[in-house]
């Protein structure tokens, strides 16, 4: 469960701490236009850094962003940072608190200091759920373990890449740690064209912005039509999906064997968590519940 809290200032940080104290299985995210988190204690109100707030309470804080609207079909919040760049945050549930950010139309009708749960509809009021979680914890119920899943992408096909990232982001939004391994042609997704060196095999590889279709590409016409259909359906592009995956703390691993075959260096790739051999990634896969292959 990924719960995103919008607005509320001091009350929002207090609510986030209360939810975390009641349930270890929830990921709580605060969206704030500022760069400090307002907190209140016996000494009064003050602001703490997002890093310190996360260290103390386990609540992730995304600073310098203003929520604009909810994209309900894809369960994400469209946000704008202080540089004017539009992005998004995935959610399972959205909690709105007053004072709400200016321009966030989805919060109309939210009363002062009253929590309004917009997504999903029909859930218990948040305060009631907190009481239930605290009662369960007091009764000695074991905390939920954080699951993990692995995804292996060994294709450079646009449709398969979109499917891999969509599944990865969906799992991560549900609170599951996701590890992605990019192997052989799947390494194309990670290539940074600005830093790519020479080499025959390298020149045969695509990048995240020029991936072909697995079928009916028709010399590039198919992928153009497919991207147009994605935009019409408001499906994020591969570049946007990669950014969202990073926001969800999905781990990127590059296959060492594939990099050797194609003559790639780590400096030619976008930011990856590590370059691993099959033995290392096998150990990572064995710690999770499932491994999904896209190729």
CATH of the domain at 266: 3.40.1260.10
Show the tokens assigned to 227.
Answer: 């991207």
Token pair 């997704």 in the structure block, residue? 189
In a domain, 143, yes or no: no
Greater model confidence, 69 or 142: 69
Greater model confidence, 131 or 63: 63
Q: Are residues 160 and 288 in the same domain?
A: yes
User: What stretch of H or E contains 282?
Assistant: helix 278-286
Which among 282, 34, 21 has a CA at the least distance from the CA of 133?
21
Show the tokens assigned to 32.
Answer: 């704030």
Q: Which of 113, 138, 163 is the last residue of a domain?
A: 138
Token pair 């990019």 in the structure block, residue? 182
pLDDT in tens, 14-68: 888 877 776 655 678 888 887 888 787 666 667 788 888 888 888 888 888 888 8
Whole domain around residue 229: which residue ranges? 148-294
Cα–Cα dist 158/165, whole Å: 11
User: Averaged over 170-180, what is the pLDDT?
Assistant: 83
Identify any residues that bridge with 255 across adjacent strands, giving them in sequence order. 276
Cα–Cα dist 150/263, whole Å: 25
In a domain, 7, yes or no: yes
DSSP 249: T
Contacts of 285 (CB under 8 A, 6+ apart): 150, 179, 291
pLDDT in tens, 70-84: 887 778 888 888 878
| Contact call for residues 127 and 147 (beta carbons, < 8 A) | no
pLDDT of residue 132: 53
DSSP characters over 107-159 = GTTPPTT--EEEESTTPPPHHHHHHHHHHHHHTTPPPPPPPEEEEEE----HH
The edge-to-edge listing of strands for the beta sheet with 2-7 is: 60-63, 27-32, 2-7, 93-97, 116-119
Give residue 2's pLDDT band: very low, low, confident or very high (50, 70, 90). confident
Token pair 């709105």 in the structure block, residue? 96
For the ranges 120-134, 166-180, 200-214, which has the lowest average pLDDT? 120-134
Category of 44 on φ-ψ map: left (φ > 0), alpha (ψ -120 to 50) or beta: left
**Helices 238-247 and 158-173 sit at what angle, rounded to 10 degrees?**
20
Q: Are residues 112 and 164 in the same domain?
A: no
pTM, two decimal places: 0.49
Cα–Cα dist 272/261, whole Å: 18
pLDDT of residue 283: 82
In a domain, 12, yes or no: yes
Q: Which of 91, 111, 138 is the last residue of a domain?
A: 138
Average pLDDT, the chain: 77
pLDDT of residue 112: 35
Q: Are residues 49 and 67 in the same domain?
A: yes
Cα–Cα dist 242/221, whole Å: 24
| Contact call for residues 175 and 25 (beta carbons, < 8 A) | yes
pLDDT of residue 156: 84
Give residue 119's pLDDT band: very low, low, confident or very high (50, 70, 90). very low
Q: Which of 83, 116, 138 is the last residue of a domain?
A: 138
Give residue 153's pLDDT band: very low, low, confident or very high (50, 70, 90). very high
Q: Are residues 278 and 187 in the same domain?
A: yes
In a domain, 105, yes or no: yes
Category of 218 on φ-ψ map: left (φ > 0), alpha (ψ -120 to 50) or beta: left
């Amino acid at each position: 469960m990924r719960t995103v809290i919008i607005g509320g200032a001091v009350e929002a940080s207090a609510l986030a701490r209360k939810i975390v104290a009641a349930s270890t299985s929830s990921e709580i995210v605060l969206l704030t236009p500022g760069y400090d988190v307002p907190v209140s204690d016996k000494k009064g109100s003050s602001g703490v850094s997002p890093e310190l707030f996360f260290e103390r309470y386990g609540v992730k804080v995304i600073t310098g962003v203003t929520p604009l609207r909810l994209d309900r079909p894809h369960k994400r919040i469209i946000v704008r940072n202080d540089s004017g760049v539009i992005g998004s945050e995935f959610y399972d549930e959205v909690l709105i608190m007053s004072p709400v950010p200016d321009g966030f139309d989805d919060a109309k009708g939210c009363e002062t200091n009253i929590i309004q749960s917009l997504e999903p509809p029909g859930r218990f009021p948040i305060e009631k759920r907190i009481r239930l979680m605290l009662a369960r914890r007091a009764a000695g119920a074991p905390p939920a373990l954080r699951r993990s899943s692995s995804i292996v992408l060994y294709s450079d096909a646009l449709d398969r890449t979109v499917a891999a990232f969509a599944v990865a982001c969906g799992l991560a939004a549900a609170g599951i740690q996701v590890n992605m391994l990019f192997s052989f042609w799947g390494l194309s997704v990670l290539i940074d064209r600005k830093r790519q060196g020479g080499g025959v095999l390298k020149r045969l590889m695509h990048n995240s912005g020029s991936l072909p279709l697995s079928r009916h590409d028709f010399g590039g016409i198919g992928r153009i039509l497919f991207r147009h259909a994605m935009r019409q359906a408001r499906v994020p592009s591969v570049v946007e999906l990669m950014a969202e995956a990073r926001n969800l703390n999905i781990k990127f691993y590059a296959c060492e064997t594939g990099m050797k075959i194609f003559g790639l260096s780590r400096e030619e790739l976008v930011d990856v968590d590590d370059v691993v051999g099959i033995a290392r990634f096998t150990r990572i896969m064995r710690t999770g519940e499932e491994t999904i292959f896209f190729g």
